[in-house]
Chains A and B, each alone.
Chain A
Amino acid sequence: MSDEQKANKPKKRMTATKAAASIGPMVKEFIAGTLKAREERSHKLAYTFIVCHHEEILRALDVLPIWTENFAGICGAKRDAERFLQRAESLGFSRSLCTYALCGLGFDQWREELGEMPPEAPWGGQARPDMMISSGQILCDPRAKWYQAAQQYMPDVPIYNIDLPHPLYDPKNDHKEQWAYYHKYIVEQLRGLVSFLEEQTGKKMDYDRLSELVELTEKTWNLIHETYELRKAVPTPMGTGDAMNTMVPMCFNMGTQVAYDFFVNLKKELEEKIQKGEGEVAEEKYRLMWGGGLPAWFALKDFNYFNSKGASFPVETTYRMVAPLYEMDIPDAKDPIERIAWRWLGYWNFWFDRARKRPGSHPDVERLINHIENYKIDGIVMHEAFSCRTWHVGLIWQLNQLAKIYKPIPVLSLGQNGKQQTKHCELPSLILESDIIDITSYSEADTRNKIDAFIETLESLRQNRADSK
């Protein structure tokens, strides 16, 4: 590493929990594991995406997933994505496309051209895969296009694309009327994945083992939910900054004992902190919700900046990729593949029935309201990453709709007759703008200015509320 790179190397971010601090080494070990597996040919390696509910299938057949979004995120967090993004740009990809994918494509093309890892590759680089598992689900176009584009540079690596749709919300219709054919399709798609993997690995699926892994995952899901619910405590023992670390075992290690044990420990740690009254912030003044958008991985320290102003984040909608299975209204199935498919539908349609009960609501808005109330939220922060439509379209509208149907904050004001009266205003919100890994879209000075102004708004509302009491 050159002196210049060393000088620009971001320093380690402070975390509130010990568990979150252990994530860095965990990811490093994981990447080292894939590189070793490549070298020793001990496992088949598959490029793939998180939140496809296929981890148990991969693990039951001893296929090691390489989470390509994660590697791009690492490049971003290390502030070393630019050279890969630039390479993708030179290959002819527009810089307006998903920067995870651009970073990955730039890296892969470079590795293929050299026949070895690009120089100074972050954490040893991303191993060449034996296969790529796309997911053209109703979630993200780049997930269906990325590996197809990568095949231009590694045509010998086969792709399996699993389609995993779910019904969209319609206030007038019951989504469950469509579940039967959705479920059937998802099961067929997942069985297709099993045959593909069996062909690639030369192994036969052991369905007992798969069932065990599915059970482990379900247990872990419920555990994560209960662990995160502990953050309702005042002061909150853990914030979104840490959750952007703890998403790693949740999204990358599902279906393993490692993930389960991690959350057992985290839960214990949070319980201890709560008992001691230890908060993420020494003096918690504002409780904020990260209400949408992937984080800017190169600027996670902005969470510490919020903390320095007395603001903590007890809850976030991002990377809360689990929901309690016992609260899902899904049929009980014996077959592990069928179970996974129901879990998929139960997760994505989790807030539908609740939304239907509140006029003008919508699952995403309903979830915001639920969190505002349960986590005693004073304000909402969102992030708009320019390169990702998946998670960043609809955020403005959600805030608009929230303001329309939900006004939780009493504000003291003077009425027409000069008498004091209490009005209810919507929750203040802040939308930060930059990107997931493209640092050229980010200005620290601008971002911190916005945060300062937002904190001032929260403070004046707090004063107002104190006056009205």
Chain B
Amino acid sequence: MPEPQSDVVSRVDAMYQDYAGRAKELAGQGARFIGYVCSFVPLEMIAASGCFPFRIRGDVHEPITKGDTLLETIVCPFYRSCFDLMLKGKYDFASGVVIPHACDSMVRSYDVWNYALNLPYTHFVNVPSVCGDSALRFFEAELISFKQSLEKYTGVSITDEKLAHSIRAYNLNRKKARDIYALRKTHPPAILGSDLVKVLSVGASLPVEESNELFDQVLQACSGANKTDAQSGPRILIDGPCLDNMDLIKLIEDCGAQVVGDTTCNGARDHFPLTDEIRPPVQALADRYLNKLNCPKTYRDNQAGTFEKDADNRFGDIESYAKDYSADGVILYVYKYCDPFGFEVPARKTYLESKNIPVLYLEDLYSSGATGQLKTRIQAFLEMIG
């Protein structure tokens, strides 16, 4: 007899509110947790070393104070919030952090994190900015450096066997996440968008096996009858970088709409691509993180020579998800000072509108006060497409 949906949801909610509570508990028993902020960090490698990766979350309700004494305010506000929480000891159970070459905010403040937090383990993964054979070979070598640095820190030898095991565990996790996404294909969706983000967030704070268990419970509880009291408002897909706070999604739901899909970093961008289980593990990881993560940071050659075809290659996934989840409109949600996404706003908007998908572009500051101000825009957009 599966647990009722409301029970699972409230359990997830409690874990979401007490974020990383379980991690803290395990750390107290000697487990080592390595924090990460961005989808470019190969979690499989961390897990294979016997450590547990957990996604560092920001907090839109916590004013950034301590962080601003060391980090310029022109840094991405989401990333500043994460750093502020780290400095304030919110994640003091963490043994380390891994920062990838994702954006200038991360690269340029790597030293600040490294020196100011002074954690036992800090590592930078240099992800190439372009694709292609030479980039893939370089990235493989860089992942071997990462592996060696983890081995040095943990004293554990990371064998191909261990890597293959953790690749399978994460692939399973991502497949389950995709199944949870599929719950929203129904009208009304069988799980609220806000609940899904909570489930994924909590999942990213747990050892992958526990995350898999949690996802199973969610799937069992939500499959079957439609159990959300969701109204049948417009269906929205959110496109943008990491959206780990509930305020925006709640705001959209409060306006009478449903968030049915996303292409965000802690959502589909991260959870949908799988790692090849047949190729040699390091090579397979290099391939997944370089070639399959569709982040604006990675440049992919415009082979077609036209804007339209190139846009199809770059943004086609947004359109296909919008179709899969029958979205009525897309909210393109970008943080101020985000160069990778910011420079794509006109192209993304033009592309989606050419596919007859209405788009609302919102620039936000990662603070609950500022998000609240977006209400009129969201409501007007829903009136427009509704």
Contacts and interface: CB of A to CB of B under 8 A. Distances in A.
Contacts, number: 173
B342 interface: yes
Given A158-B302, A396-B72, A397-B71, A167 B363 contact: no
B207 interface: no
Interface residues of B, number: 59
A168 B107 contact: yes
Centre residue among A177, A184, A396 by max chain B CB count within 10 A: A396
Given A94-B345, A397-B111, A386 B104 contact: no
A91 B145 contact: no
B142 A362 contact: no
Interface stretch (A73-81, A144-152, A207-215, A268-276): A144-152
B129 A137 contact: yes
A169 B361 contact: no
A333 B361 CA distance: 51
B109 A145 contact: no
Nearest to B132: A192
B244 to A, nearest CB: 21
Interface in B307-353: 307, 310, 334, 336-337, 339-340, 342-347, 349-350
Nearest to B70: A397
Interface string A156-185: 101101110101111001000110011011
Contacts of A173: 149
B346 to A, nearest CB: 4
Interface residues of A, number: 61
Interface string B123-154: 11010111010110110011001000100000
Contacts of A362: 111, 115
Nearest to B311: A152
Nearest to A393: B108
A110 interface: no
B13 to A, nearest CB: 34
B138 A93 contact: no
Contacts of A162: 130
B71 A389 contact: no
Most buried by A among B107, B334, B336, B342: B342
Contact of B112 (A140, A177, A394): A394
B343 A393 contact: no
Nearest to B114: A170
Interface in A330-364: 360, 362, 364
B75 interface: yes
Contacts of A397: 70-71, 109, 111-112, 115-116
A138 interface: yes
Contacts of B145: 177-178
B129 A393 contact: no
B104 A136 contact: no
B299 A134 contact: yes
B31 interface: no
B340 A141 contact: yes
Interface in A395-414: 395-397, 400-401
B108 A96 contact: no
B375 interface: no
B28 interface: no
A429 interface: no
B74 A386 contact: yes
Contact of B363 (A94, A163, A390): A94
Nearest to B123: A170
Given A138-B101, A397-B112, A91 B346 contact: yes
Interface string A364-389: 10000000000000000000101111
A145 B108 contact: no
A161 B342 contact: no
A94 B110 CA distance: 25
A395 B75 CA distance: 12
B186 to A, nearest CB: 34
A189 interface: yes
B297 interface: yes
Contact of A101 (B123, B305, B343): B343
A263 to B, nearest CB: 30
B111 A136 contact: no
Contacts of B305: 155-156, 158
Contacts of B172: none
Nearest to B74: A386
A93 B111 contact: no
Contacts of B135: 163, 185
B42 interface: no
A389 B305 CA distance: 30
A192 B108 CA distance: 27
B142 A181 contact: yes
A151 B343 contact: no
B29 interface: no
Nearest to A384: B72
B166 interface: no
* Max chain A C-beta neighbours (<10 A), residue from B128, B130, B142, B145: B130
B346 A145 contact: no
A141 B297 contact: yes
Contacts of B114: 170
B306 A155 contact: yes
In this complex, which of A91, A148, A169 has the most chain B Cβ atoms within 10 angstroms of its Cβ? A148
Contact of A389 (B122, B141, B142, B337): B337
Given A94-B363, A401-B115, A389 B343 contact: no
Given A94-B363, A156-B305, A149 B346 contact: yes
A167 B126 contact: yes
B197 interface: no
B237 to A, nearest CB: 19
Contacts of A436: none
A142 interface: yes
A145 B126 contact: no
A392 interface: yes
Interface string B358-375: 000101000000000000
B169 interface: no
A400 B105 CA distance: 19
Nearest to A187: B134
A400 B115 CA distance: 11
A189 B134 contact: yes
Given A158-B305, A393-B105, A397-B112, A168 B71 contact: no
Interface in A192-224: 192
24 contacts: A92-B345, A97-B343, A98-B339, A136-B299, A137-B129, A138-B101, A149-B344, A149-B347, A152-B307, A155-B306, A156-B305, A161-B301, A162-B130, A169-B111, A170-B122, A173-B149, A182-B138, A184-B137, A185-B134, A393-B72, A393-B75, A396-B72, A397-B70, A397-B116
Interface of A: 91-94, 96-98, 101, 134, 136-138, 140-142, 144-146, 148-149, 151-152, 155-156, 158-159, 161-163, 165, 167-170, 173, 177-178, 181-182, 184-185, 188-189, 192, 360, 362, 364, 384, 386-390, 392-397, 400-401
Given A152-B346, A165-B101, 17 more contacts: A94-B345, A94-B363, A96-B74, A98-B339, A134-B299, A148-B344, A170-B124, A181-B138, A185-B128, A188-B134, A189-B130, A392-B72, A393-B108, A397-B70, A397-B71, A397-B111, A401-B115
Question: Closest 9 A-B residue pairs measured CB to CB?
Answer: A136-B129, A393-B108, A145-B343, A188-B134, A181-B141, A185-B138, A141-B339, A389-B104, A92-B346
Interface of B: 69-72, 74-75, 101, 103-105, 107-112, 114-116, 122-124, 126, 128-130, 132, 134-135, 137-138, 141-142, 145, 149, 296-297, 299, 301-302, 305-307, 310, 334, 336-337, 339-340, 342-347, 349-350, 361, 363
